[in-house]
A and B are shown apart, each in its own frame.
Chain A
Amino acid sequence: MPTIAPSLIFQLTLLTVVFFSLQISAAVLVYFERKISGWAQQRVGPNRVGPLGLLQPLADIVKLIFKEELRPKAADKWLFYLAPILSATTAFAAFAVIPFGPPTTFFGLLEKPVPLQVADLNVAVLVVFAITSMGIYGIVLAGWASNSKYALLGGLRSSAQMISYELAYAMALASVLVIANSLSLREIVDAQQGWRWLFGVVPVPAWYVFLTPIGFFIFFIAGIAETNRAPFDFPEAEQELVAGYHTEYSSMSFALFFLAEYVNMVVVCGVTVSLFLGGFYMPGLPVWLGPLWFIGKVAALLFFYIWMRWTLPRYRYDQLMDFGWKRLLPLSIVNLLVTAAGVLYWS
C-alpha cells in the first residue's frame, strides 16, 4: 500500500476546510447583511426561518437550487456559463495565499509545526493582485454574453471602474511593500507583531495602519470599489441598470455571482487585515489563538462594509471617475513617495 505523506493529507484537509469556511462565511455574511440592514432601517430583518432567522441563508440556498435555469435565446452559450464559474473560482483562489494563523502542530498531532495558510508564496501579494484582475473577466463576460443592454452597460462600467481603482489600490499596496521590504504576506504579517512606540510616546500595536494611515484609507476605499460594493456598486445600479451584469442570470448561475461577491469581500478584508492590521497577531494576547483574531478583524471590517452600504448613497458615475483618477490616485502616489522617504530616513 503506498504511503501518503502527512503533509499532503494536511494540505488537502486545509484546502477543504478553507474552501467550506469561505462558503459558510458567505452564507453568514448574507444573513448579517440583511440583519444589519434591518437595524439600520429600524426593521426587524429576517426572523421567520429558524431561531432569530438564522436558517434564512439555508432557505435561500435551497430556493436558488430549485429555481429554473434560464438562458436568453440570443446569449452566447459558452461564455454565458463560463462567466459565473470564472467569477466564483477567482474569488476562492485568491484566499489561498492569505495566512490566517501561526504555525501550529495542532496540540502535538503533527510532528513539526505547519503554517495555517494554503500556499506560502514569496510573491503572495502579487498573486492576490493577479487573481483579482482575472476576476474582472467574469463580470465583463457576463455582461457581454447575456446579449442584453443593461448587462452590457453593467459589464462595461465594472471594467472601467476596476481599471481605474486598481491603480490606487496597487499604489497603496506598494507603500506597505516599501515598509515591509517583502512581497510575502506571511513575512509582512510576521513583521507586525508586538508593540511599537508612536512618536516615542504612544504605545500602539505594531500594525502598518499606524505607519501609513493614508495608505490604509486608500486601500480600503479602493477595495470597496474593487468588490463593487455600495457606494461604488455601479455595475449593478438598480435604478439605472435593473441588476447590471447579472440581469439575465437565474438559479445557481446567479447564486455563483452572489457567492463570488461575498467571498470577494472576505478576501479583500483578509488582505487588508494582513497588510495593515497585523493579520492574526493581537499584541498582548496569545498567538496560538491567531485564527480567532484574524476572523475577528475580518468580521469588523466586513461590518464596516455593510454599515457603509446602508449609510451612504451611490455616487454619480462621473463623480466616481473623478474621485478615482483625480483624488485617490494622486493622493496614493504622494503617500507612496512620503512613505519611501520615511523608510529611507528612519532605516
Chain B
Amino acid sequence: MAPWLFYLFATISVVSSIGVIGQRNPMYSVLLLIGSFISLAGLYVGLDSPFVAVTQIVVYAGAIMVLFLFVVMLLNAPREDVAPGAQLPIPGVVKAYGGVLSVAMAAMLLWALSRLGVVPFVEDPQAAERVASVRDIGLMLFRDHAFSFEVTSILILVAMVGAVVLAKKTV
C-alpha cells in the first residue's frame, strides 16, 4: 500500500475517533464513528484484504451503526450541554488523582511504544493471499474452528432470547 494512503486513512480514523468522544451531539458521534469504521476498511483494502474491508463496512458501518442511529433518532437524545452554573464543583483530590492516573497512563503508552521501535512495513504477497481468500476464511471458520464458531452463535442466540424476554416483561 502506498504510504500516503496509509497516513490518509490513519489520520481520518484517529481524528474521527477523537471526534466521537469529543462531540456533544450524539448524532455527530455516531456519524464520526461510521467515518472511523470506513477509514479502517480503507486500511484493510491497503493490506490486500478486500474481504475483511467489505465485511467491516457491511457489518459495522452498515448493520450495527444503522441500529445505533435508529436508537439515537428514536430516543431523540439531546445535546449534552451543561449550563455553566449547574456544573458540580470537582474536589481537588479527585482532580489530582485523575491527573496522576492520566500521566501514568501516558508514560506507560510511551514506554511500550518506544520498546516496540519502528517496524518496517514488509510486503508479503503470500501472507495477503492466505488471508484474502474467502474460501480459506470459510474453511477456517467452519472446519478448524467449527466448535468455537457454533458456541459463539449459541451465545448470540442466548443474548437475543434474553433481550426479547426482558423487553416483553411488561405485556
Q: Which residues of A contact B (CB under 8 A)?
A: 76, 79, 121-123, 126-127, 129-130, 133-134, 136-137, 140-141, 143-144, 152, 155-156, 159-160, 162-163, 166, 183
Choose from B50, B70, B134 the contact partner of A160 (Cβ within 8 Å): B70
Q: Which of B34, B54, B57, B67 has the most CB of A within 10 A?
A: B54
Complex-state Cα separation, A140 to B31, whole angstroms: 11
Interface 9-residue window, one of B58-66, B96-104, B153-161: B58-66
**Distance in Å: Cβ of B44 to nearest Cβ of chain A:** 11
A123 pairs with B54, CB closer than 8 A: yes
Q: Can you offer 19 A-B residue contacts whose CB atoms are under 8 A?
A: A122-B134, A123-B51, A126-B51, A126-B54, A126-B58, A127-B54, A130-B54, A130-B62, A133-B58, A133-B63, A134-B62, A137-B34, A140-B70, A141-B31, A143-B73, A152-B73, A159-B66, A160-B70, A163-B63
Complex interface: chain A residues within 8 A of B57 (CB): 130, 133-134
Q: Which residues of B contact A (CB under 8 A)?
A: 27, 31, 34, 50-51, 54-55, 57-58, 61-63, 66-67, 69-70, 73-74, 134
B50 pairs with A140, CB closer than 8 A: no
A123 pairs with B73, CB closer than 8 A: no
Residue of B nearest to A121 (CB): B50
Complex interface: chain B residues within 8 A of A162 (CB): 66
Grouping DSSP codes into helix (H, G, I), strand (E, B) and loop, the A interface class, with mixed when no group exceeds half, is: helix
**Distance in Å: Cβ of A81 to nearest Cβ of chain B:** 14
A79 pairs with B27, CB closer than 8 A: yes
**Distance in Å: Cβ of B135 to nearest Cβ of chain A:** 9
Choose from B31, B50, B55, B74 the contact partner of A156 (Cβ within 8 Å): B74
Complex interface: chain B residues within 8 A of A183 (CB): 134
A123 pairs with B50, CB closer than 8 A: yes
Complex-state Cα separation, A155 to B54, whole angstroms: 25
Complex interface: chain A residues within 8 A of B58 (CB): 126, 129-130, 133
B55 pairs with A126, CB closer than 8 A: yes
Complex interface: chain A residues within 8 A of B74 (CB): 156
Complex interface: chain A residues within 8 A of B31 (CB): 79, 141
B69 pairs with A140, CB closer than 8 A: yes
Residue of A nearest to B54 (CB): A126
Task: Tell whether A133 pairs with B62 under 8 Å between CB atoms, given A123-B54, A126-B54.
Answer: yes
Complex interface: chain B residues within 8 A of A129 (CB): 54, 58
**Distance in Å: Cβ of A275 to nearest Cβ of chain B:** 17
A159 pairs with B62, CB closer than 8 A: no
Task: Tell whether A155 pairs with B55 under 8 Å between CB atoms, given A133-B62, A144-B27, A163-B67.
Answer: no
B70 pairs with A156, CB closer than 8 A: yes
**Distance in Å: Cβ of B127 to nearest Cβ of chain A:** 17
Task: Tell whether A144 pairs with B73 under 8 Å between CB atoms, given A79-B27, A133-B63, A133-B66.
Answer: yes
Complex interface: chain B residues within 8 A of A134 (CB): 57, 61-62
Complex-state Cα separation, A155 to B51, whole angstroms: 30
A136 pairs with B73, CB closer than 8 A: no
Complex-state Cα separation, A25 to B58, whole angstroms: 28
Complex-state Cα separation, A127 to B50, whole angstroms: 9
Complex interface: chain A residues within 8 A of B134 (CB): 122-123, 183
Task: Tell whether A159 pairs with B54 under 8 Å between CB atoms, given A123-B134, A130-B62, A133-B62.
Answer: no
Complex-state Cα separation, A155 to B76, whole angstroms: 13
B69 pairs with A137, CB closer than 8 A: yes
A163 pairs with B51, CB closer than 8 A: no
Complex interface: chain B residues within 8 A of A79 (CB): 27, 31
Residue of A nearest to B27 (CB): A144
**Distance in Å: Cβ of B153 to nearest Cβ of chain A:** 14
Complex-state Cα separation, A122 to B70, whole angstroms: 32
Residue of B nearest to A127 (CB): B54
Complex interface: chain B residues within 8 A of A152 (CB): 73
